[in-house]
Every structure is written in structure tokens, then in C-alpha cells.
Amino acid sequence: MATTSARTLKLLSIFGIGATLTAEELATRLGASVRTVRRDIDTLRDLGYEIEAVRGAGGGYRLGRATRLPPVVFDEDQAVAAAVALQTVPALLSGIRENATRALATLHQAMPARSRLHAEAFTVLPARNYWEFPAPPIDADIVRAVGSAINRQHLVRVDYSGDGEPVTLTLEPHDLVVWAARWYLVAFDPDADRWRAMRVDRIQAHLPTHTPFDRRDIPHVDPVVFVMTAHDRGDAAAEWPCRGSAVLALPASTVARFAPGGSTVEYRTETTCRLTLGAWSWPGLAGLILTFDADITDIEPAELRQALHSLRTRISRGLGSATPPRPGW
């Protein structure tokens, strides 16, 4: 019986690669007869796994979608990955902590000692990066509603609170992107004839529309790149002790990609934009702006201008006292 169970689990692992394999190929991999393979397939079906028989040239057996939740089999690396994901997901989604905790406890109980030790090595504690201001955890119901519309390719109707009053939009949802600890929806707005990168924490979804749409080609091909370079993705300047802005001689898409969390980028021209950000001190804020290595103008407020003057004085003093390089260096 133990040998049969081990062979059946191995068969399930083989099906997990997603390929369609003949009974003869499966028998070779398992070191068993074709008759035994077919009996093991029947066992998996009894457990709730949808093993499909594919006819014709290139046919065989493959793993389909189950009609009920069957037992799940992980190898060691998969179990560790699932444990890490279950620990981190409450930081991104609200209303899911209890379920994630129960799932993690179930997974730990099923793990052999070695796997459990590996998973515990990845135990994570919440820590704050003082240059990033992630949004609060997203309501899991909103992610579920938007994600369902994406998977079904159905229009989604939402109330969105951006910079001003909330507006009601009907969108073609394409992808969800998590970047810099924030959730974004990549969607096409047919009424405005434009693509949007929208903060999911500012979305309230209406009832499902059940109206299908055809997918479009996303700008930059990659939805992640689109979000990273979208200057109007709905970010807001975080509260800092010191906050200022300057016009940079760089495109808004370039600055948006590298701007610290909790900053905003305002499009000015094709080659300039205004960056608003904060820091714990005015010299620190000045240093952040200088990291963009671009000409800056229209610097506000006066404290930021003074900090830049001070940095220039210190740098000039340091360069003046530096030992000149030897000829030929």
C-alpha cells in the first residue's frame, strides 16, 4: 500500500509539469506497467483530480481543472515558497490574515521536520523602510472583484478617488501589478480613449457587469513597466518633516520610475517634470533631488534652496582642499 501511494504521488508530480503524456511514457517514468498507470489514474480521479484523456495524435493524459478541492501535494521547495507567501500576504491584503494563519498552520503540520526548518528560516517580521511609504493593506474583496473581471475579460465599473472628487468609470481591466508595496490596476478607459494605472486602494467596485471585452496591447508591452513609468498613477506625497519640489530636466516617465515612495511627479513638457517629495531634513531632501543628475529649476521652498546652497559650499570646499590628481591619471 505504501508503494502504491508513493507511486500515485509521483504520478501526480509528473502531471504537475502540465504536459500531455501517453500511458506508455508515464509507465516508463514510473517503472510500472501501463495497466498499473491506468489504475493509478483512476485513484487520482477518485481523490478529485481531473485527469483528462486527450485523443488523437499527440494525445495521452494531462491534469485538468478539479471540480472540487482535492488533496494538494507539494515538494519541499514548493512548500517553503507557499509558507513564505502566507506570511507576507497579510501585509498586502486586509481581511485575509486569519485565513492565511490557519493555512500556514495546516501547512506546517503537514511538513516534514526538515522542510519546516527551511520554512521557518524565512520567517519575516514587518519592518519599515523610511524612504518608502506603502499604501495600507488592500481589501481582499476589492482585489477579488477586480481580479475576477480581469480573468473573465469583463468590463468593470468602479468609483475611483484620484486627486479630486470620486468619479465613476467603466473600464477594461487587464492586469493587477504590485510595485513598491502598492497595488495598481492597469486598465483601458474607453470613454477617455486612454490607458490608466490606478491605485487599487482608491477603487470601489460596483456589481459585476458580465459584459465581455477584447484584450488590447498594453503600452510598453509589459504592464509592470507601464505602471513604473506612469507619472499619473495616483501616488500622493507623503507627510515628511521637510517637503519640497523642483522642476527636473527629465521626462516624467523617467523620474516616475526612480522617484522614492511617497513622492509625486507632475508632467510639464516632453523633457521636464516637477518632482515633489520629502525627507527628514532639508539637506537630505536636497541630496535626493541631486541623485537624478539633471538640471533643476523653480525650487521650492526657500529652505530647500538654502540647503542646496549649503551643499554647494561644502562640496566646493572639499574639492578645493583635495589633492590634485597626478599627471596621466
Distance, in Å, from the CA atom of 176 to the CA atom of 196, rounded to the nearest integer, reads: 12
pLDDT, residue 30, reads 87
Q: What pLDDT score does 296 carry?
A: 96
Other C-beta atoms lying within 10 Å of the C-beta of residue 305:
15
Instruction: Record the pTM.
Output: 0.61
Is beta strand 138-139 parallel, antiparallel or unpaired with respect to 167-179?
unpaired
CA–CA–CA angle 84, 149, 219 (5° rounding): 85
The phi, psi pair for 146, rounded to 5°, reads -70, -45
Question: Is 22 in contact with 13 (CB distance < 8 Å)?
Answer: no
Write down the pLDDT at residue 250.
97
> What's the pLDDT at 167?
92
Q: What is the pLDDT of residue 129?
A: 44
Give the model's pLDDT for residue 290.
94
pLDDT < 50: residue spans in the chain: 1-2, 126-131, 329
Give me the CATH topology for the region 138-229: SH3 type barrels. (2.30.30)
- From residue 109, alpha-carbon distances to 13, 69, 105, 106, 299 in Å are 21, 19, 6, 5, 58
Task: Please provide the DSSP assignment of 236-250 as one string.
Answer: -PPP-SEEEEEEESS
| Fold adopted by 2-63 | Arc Repressor Mutant, subunit A (1.10.10)
Phi, psi of 54 (to 5 degrees): -100, 120
User: Length of the chain, please?
Assistant: 329
- Beta-carbon neighbour count of residue 285 at 10 Å? 24
Q: Are 63 and 19 in contact (CB under 8 A)?
A: no
Residue 155 φ then ψ, to 5°: -60, 150
- Strand order of the β-sheet with 182-189 is 194-199, 182-189, 167-179, 156-160, 203-205
Phi–psi pair at 175, nearest 5 degrees: -155, 155
The pLDDT, as a whole number, for residue 71 is 61
User: Where would I find the H helices in 121-269?
Assistant: 140-152, 223-229, 252-258
pLDDT digits (tens, 9 = 90+) for 179-226: 877 889 999 999 999 999 998 888 999 999 999 999 999 988 889 899
- pLDDT for 329 equals 42
CATH architecture, range 242-319: 2-Layer Sandwich (3.30)
pLDDT digits (tens, 9 = 90+) for 70-83: 566 676 677 777 77
Q: How far is CA 322 from CA 229, 308, 328, in A?
A: 39, 21, 17
Domain ranges of the chain: 2-63, 76-120, 138-229, 242-319
Cell reading at 101: 494563519
Provide the grid cell at 71.
488533496
Hey, what's the cell of 305?
534652496
pLDDT at 209: 94
CA atoms within 13 A on the CB side of 307: 22
